[in-house]
């Protein structure tokens, strides 16, 4: 599998190339966040993007948002020195699937990359990934193309958002714990994982489904337990 590294720090970039090479991945690198990312993407055809936030030319948030708007559905893992929750929320709003805060451990980073790639592969090759379109309220969900259509307007879903929505739909009406959702959709051992990642992803889905945060109709919070999709 192939990974595109978008990082301007030479030491981090070299370290990522070395570690991912040992893991068996092919890599290509970009040192800026401007149009060279799209050019490299088209030429290299990666399976996943690892992207820093602070980049010359265009920051990682802007770059991620532009890629999603252009229809790029690859998993995107953000590297950020910003540990505040609002910065992580911005990353998810821009379409990132996951993030790792600097300084990060290489074992954690490679584990998250493995999980993203595994889930992307499983989702595309399983019945969930090939699920027929379905409706939630007045929204039409197209899992194959990672799209939500409402009132004729299409909104792209990230692979993580799409996987979570399909999983909730397949188990609609059932209360699913945070640990279940992290394990089944994120592919993580839920022990020690910050479940705010899940909560923030649900918040992004509510926006895309026009499901009011204050009084949601479809993506319901079961306090102290997890979430369920209203039948």
Burial class of 44 by CB neighbour count within 10 A (0 to 12, 13 to 18, 19+): middle
Note the pLDDT of residue 82.
67
Note the pLDDT of residue 130.
55
Note the pLDDT of residue 124.
57
Superfamily of domain covering 2-125? Response regulator (3.40.50.2300)
Note the pLDDT of residue 190.
47
- The domains of the chain are located at 2-125, 134-229
Evaluate whether 34 touches 102 at the Cβ level (below 8 Å): no
Positions of the chain with pLDDT under 50: 127-129, 190-192
Note the pLDDT of residue 121.
72
Note the pLDDT of residue 192.
45
Q: Which two tokens stand for residue 129?
A: 């990934």
Query: Angle between the 196-208 and 159-170 helix axes, to the nearest 10 degrees?
Result: 90
The domain 134-229: what is its CATH number?
A: 1.10.10.10
Evaluate whether 205 touches 164 at the Cβ level (below 8 Å): yes
Note the pLDDT of residue 188.
58
């Amino acid at each position: 599998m192939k990974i595109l590294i978008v990082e301007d720090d030479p030491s981090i970039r070299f370290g990522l190339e070395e570690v991912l090479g040992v893991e068996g991945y092919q890599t290509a690198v970009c040192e800026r966040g401007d149009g060279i990312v799209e050019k490299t993407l088209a030429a290299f055809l990666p399976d996943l993007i690892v992207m820093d936030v602070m980049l010359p030319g265009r920051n990682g948030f802007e770059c991620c948002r532009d890629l999603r708007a252009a229809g790029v559905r690859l998993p995107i893992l953000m590297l950020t020195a910003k540990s505040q929750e609002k910065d992580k929320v911005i990353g998810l709003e821009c379409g990132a699937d996951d993030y790792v805060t600097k300084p990060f451990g290489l074992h954690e980073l490679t584990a998250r990359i493995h999980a993203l790639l595994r889930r992307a592969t499983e989702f595309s090759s399983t019945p969930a990934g090939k699920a027929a379109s379905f409706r939630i309220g007045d929204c039409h969900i197209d899992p194959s193309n990672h799209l939500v259509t409402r009132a004729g307007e299409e909104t792209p879903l990230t692979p993580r958002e799409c996987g979570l929505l399909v999983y909730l739909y397949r188990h609609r009406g059932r209360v699913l714990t945070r640990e279940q959702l992290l394990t089944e959709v994120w592919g993580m051992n839920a022990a020690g994982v910050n479940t705010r990642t899940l909560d923030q992803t649900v918040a992004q889905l509510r926006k895309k489904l026009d499901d009011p945060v204050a009084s949601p109709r479809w993506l319901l919070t079961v306090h102290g337990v997890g979430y369920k999709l209203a039948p």
